[in-house]
Amino acid sequence: MRLAERAKNISPSPTLSIDAQAKKMTAGGIKVINFGAGEPDFDTPENIKQAAVQAIAKGMTKYTPVAGIEPLRQAICNKLAEDNGLQYEPSQIVVSSGAKHSLYNAFQVLCQEGDEVILPAPYWVTYLEQIKMTGAKPVIVPTRVEDCFKLTPAQLQSAITANTRLFVLNSPGNPTGVVYTKAELEALGEILEKNNIAIISDEIYEKLIYDANRHVSIASLSPGLKDLTVVINGVSKSYSMTGWRIGYAAAPQPVAKAMADLQSHSTSNPTSIAQAASLEAITGTQESVQKMVAEFAKRRDYMVDRLTAIHGVRCNRPGGAFYVFPDVKALLGKSYAGEAINNATDLARVLLAVEHVAIVPGVAFGDDNCFRLSYATSMDNIREGLDLIEKVLKALQ
Chosen residue from 242, 267, 283, 286 binding ligand PLP by CB under 6 A: 242
Smaller CB separation from ligand PLP, 202 or 295:
202
| Shortest distance (Å) from residue 296 CB to ligand PLP | 14
End-to-end CA distance of the chain: 50
100 binds ligand PLP (CB under 6 A): yes
Give the range of 96-104, 178-186, 286-294, 338-346 binding ligand PLP by CB under 6 A.
96-104
Q: Whole-number minimum distance, CB 95 to ligand PLP, in Å?
A: 11
In the chain, the amino acid numbered 204 is I
Residue of the chain from 36, 98, 189, 385 that contacts ligand PLP (CB under 6 A): 98
Least separation in angstroms between CB 146 and ligand PLP: 23
Query: Smallest distance, Å, CB 332 to ligand PLP?
Result: 26
How many CB atoms lie under 10 A from the CB of residue 309? 11
Minimum CB distance to ligand PLP smaller for 247 or for 318: 247
Rounded CA gap, 74 and 239, in Å? 19
Q: Is 385 near ligand PLP (CB under 6 A)?
A: no
Nearest distance from C-beta of residue 103 to ligand PLP, angstroms? 6
Give the C-alpha separation, 71 to 279, whole Å. 8
Nearest to 150, CA basis, from 331, 318, 308? 318
**Binding flags for ligand PLP, 258-297, as an x/- string (CB under 6 A):** ----------------------------------------
Q: In degrees rounded to 5, what are phi and psi of residue 184?
A: -65, -40
Per DSSP, 265 falls in state T
Q: Buried b vs exposed e over 132-143: b needs ≥16 C-beta within 10 Å?
A: bbbebbbbbbeb
Residue 236 touches ligand PLP, criterion: CB under 6 A: yes
Smallest separation, CB 236 to ligand PLP (Å): 4
- CA gap 44, 51 in Å, rounded: 12
CB 368 within 8 A of CB 343: yes
Stretch that binds ligand PLP, among 47-55, 92-100, 129-137, 282-290 (CB under 6 A): 92-100
Helix axes 70-84, 272-283, angle to 10 degrees: 30
Site for ligand PLP in 153-182 (CB under 6 A): 170, 174
For ligand PLP, the closer CB: 105 or 272: 105
Distance CA 87, CA 95 (A): 17
* H or E element at residue 335: strand 334-336
204, 208, 357, 359: residue in contact with ligand PLP (rule CB under 6 A): 204
The span of 154-162, 231-239, 302-310, 381-389 binding ligand PLP (CB under 6 A) equals: 231-239
Q: Report if residue 375 touches ligand PLP, rule: CB under 6 A.
A: no
Q: Which residue, 99 or 310, is less far from ligand PLP as judged by CB?
A: 99
Work out how close the CB of 13 gets to ligand PLP at its nearest, in angstroms, rounded to a whole number.
13
Measured distance CA(21)–CA(23) in Å, rounded: 5
Sequence-separated contacts (24+) of 251-258 with Cβ below 8 Å: 251/92, 251/94, 251/106, 252/92, 252/226, 252/227, 253/89, 253/91, 253/92, 255/106, 255/109, 255/110, 255/230, 256/67, 256/91, 256/92, 256/93, 256/94, 257/91, 258/109
Q: Which residues bind ligand PLP (CB under 6 A)?
A: 38, 98-100, 124, 170, 174, 202, 204, 234, 236-237, 242, 247
